[in-house]
Amino acid sequence: MAFVHPHPFVFLLILLPISAVAQNDADYVNVGDSLTATDENNTSWLSPSGDFAFGFSPLDQKDLFLLSIWFAKIPEKTVVWNARLDNPVPRGSKVELITDRGLVLTGPQNDELWTTNSTGTFFGFMNNTGNFVLEDSNYNKLWESFKNPSDTMLPAQIMERGGVLSSRQSETNFSKGRFQLQLGDNGNLVLQTINLPTDNPNEAYYESQTTAGDNGTLSPGKELVFNESGYMYIMKDDNQRVALRPARVESTADFYFRATLNFDGVFTQCSHPRTSNASGSWNPIWSVPDNICVNSNAKTGSGTCGFNSICTLKPDRRPMCTCPKGYSFLDPNDPYGTCKPDFIQGCAEDELGPGKDLYYFEVLKNIDWPFSDYAYMKPYTEDQCKKSCMEDCMCAVAIFRSGDSCWKKKLPLSNGKVDSNLNGGLAFFKIRNNNSITLPDDRLPNPKPENKNQNNLILMWSMLLGGSVFVNIILIAAICLGVFFIYHKRLKRPILNVDAVEMNLLCFTYKELVEATDGFKEELGRGAFGIVYKGAIQMSSNVLVAVKKLDSLFQENSDKEFKTEVTVIGQTHHKNLVRLLGFCDEGLHRLLVYEFLSNGTLASFLYRDSKPSWNLRVQIAVGIARGLLYLHEECSTQIIHCDIKPQNILLDDYYNARISDFGLAKRLILNQSKTHTNIRGTKGYVAPEWFRNMPITTKVDVYSYGVMLLEIICSRRSVNLETIGEQQAILTDWAYDCYQEGRLDSLVEYDVEALDDRRKLVRFVMVAIWCIQEDPFLRPTMRRATQMLEGVVEVPVPPSPYPYSKTS
**Considering Cα of 746, then 748, then 750, then 756, what sign does the dihedral take?**
negative
| Secondary element (H or E) of residue 804 | helix 803-807
Question: Is-contact 98 121, C-beta < 8 A?
Answer: yes
Q: Is the pLDDT of residue 452 over 70?
A: no
Question: Is-contact 764 706, C-beta < 8 A?
Answer: no
In the structure, what pLDDT confidence band is assigned to residue 447 with cuts at 50, 70 and 90? very low
Residue 59 DSSP label = P
Q: Is the pLDDT of residue 608 over 50?
A: yes
Active-site residues: which are they? 643
* Cα dihedral: 167, 171, 176, 178 (round 10): -60
Q: Is the pLDDT of residue 83 over 60?
A: yes
Quote the mean pLDDT of the chain: 81
Integer Cα distance of 785 and 706 in angstroms? 9
DSSP strand E in 28-78: where? 28-30, 34-36, 44-46, 52-58, 64-71
* Cα dihedral: 60, 64, 68, 72 (round 10): 50
Q: Cα–Cα–Cα angle for 295, 300, 304, nearest 5°?
A: 40
Question: Which pairing describes strands 255-261 and 189-194: parallel, antiparallel, or unpaired?
Answer: unpaired
CB burial class (10 A; 0-12, 13-18, 19+) of residue 582?
Answer: buried
- For residue 515, give the 3-state DSSP assignment: helix
For position 451, what pLDDT does the model report? 43
Q: For the segment 730-742, what is each residue's pLDDT rounded down to a tens digit?
A: 899 999 999 999 9
In the structure, what pLDDT confidence band is assigned to residue 806 with cuts at 50, 70 and 90? very low
For position 479, what pLDDT does the model report? 59
Q: Alpha helix locations (H) across 33-182?
A: none
Give the pLDDT mean for 522-534. 82
Question: Is-contact 397 280, C-beta < 8 A?
Answer: no
Phi, psi of 96 (to 5 degrees): -135, 145
Q: Is the pTM of this model over 0.85?
A: no
Q: Which of 17-21, 114-118, 261-265, 345-349 has the lowest mean pLDDT?
A: 17-21
Superfamily of domain 155-289 in CATH is Bulb-type lectin domain (2.90.10.10)
Integer Cα distance of 554 and 295 in angstroms? 58
- For residue 551, give the 3-state DSSP assignment: coil
User: Candidates 3.30.200.20, 3.40.50.300, 3.40.630.30, 1.20.1440.230; correct CATH number of 439-445+496-596?
Assistant: 3.30.200.20
Long-range interactions of 188-192: CB distance < 8 A, separation 24+: 188/220, 188/221, 189/221, 189/224, 189/234, 189/244, 191/261, 191/265, 191/267, 191/288, 191/289, 192/298
For position 518, what pLDDT does the model report? 92
Superfamily of domain 1-148 in CATH is Bulb-type lectin domain (2.90.10.10)
The closest alpha carbon to 656, from 567, 764, 735, 577, belongs to: 577
Give the pLDDT mean for 247-272. 88
Integer Cα distance of 596 and 5 in angstroms? 86
| C-beta atoms surrounding 559 within 10 Å | 11
The closest alpha carbon to 805, from 720, 721, 688, belongs to: 688
What fold, for 598-808?
A: Transferase(Phosphotransferase); domain 1 (1.10.510)
Give the pLDDT mean for 313-318. 85
For the chain, what are the domain ranges? 1-148, 155-289, 312-432, 439-445+496-596, 452-494, 598-808
Integer Cα distance of 162 and 148 in angstroms? 11
Question: Which pairing describes strands 241-243 and 232-236: parallel, antiparallel, or unpaired?
Answer: antiparallel
For position 441, what pLDDT does the model report? 37
In the structure, what pLDDT confidence band is assigned to residue 335 with cuts at 50, 70 and 90? confident
- Between 677 and 484, name the one with better pLDDT: 484
Integer Cα distance of 796 and 781 in angstroms? 14
For position 453, what pLDDT does the model report? 46
Question: Is-contact 228 156, C-beta < 8 A?
Answer: yes
Q: Is the pLDDT of residue 556 over 70?
A: no
For position 395, what pLDDT does the model report? 92
Integer Cα distance of 102 and 464 in angstroms? 103
3-state helix, strand, coil in the chain (%, to 5): 30, 25, 45
The closest alpha carbon to 530, from 411, 685, 648, 387, belongs to: 648
Question: Is-contact 46 52, C-beta < 8 A?
Answer: yes
For position 677, what pLDDT does the model report? 43
Domains 155-289 and 439-445+496-596 share a fold: no
| Secondary element (H or E) of residue 168 | strand 164-168
Q: Is the pLDDT of residue 468 over 90?
A: no
Q: Is the pLDDT of residue 611 over 80?
A: yes
Integer Cα distance of 502 and 443 in angstroms? 12
521 is in an annotated binding site: no
In the structure, what pLDDT confidence band is assigned to residue 131 with cuts at 50, 70 and 90? very high
> What b/e sequence results for 675-692 when a residue is b if at least 16 CB atoms lie within 10 Å of its CB, and e otherwise?
eeeeebbbebbbbbbbee
- For residue 103, give the 3-state DSSP assignment: strand
Give the pLDDT mean for 364-387. 91
The closest alpha carbon to 179, from 329, 291, 305, belongs to: 305
Please give the share of the chain, as a percent, with pLDDT higher than 90.
37
In the structure, what pLDDT confidence band is assigned to residue 689 with cuts at 50, 70 and 90? confident
Question: Is-contact 516 545, C-beta < 8 A?
Answer: yes
Highest mean pLDDT among 4-8, 352-356, 431-435: 431-435
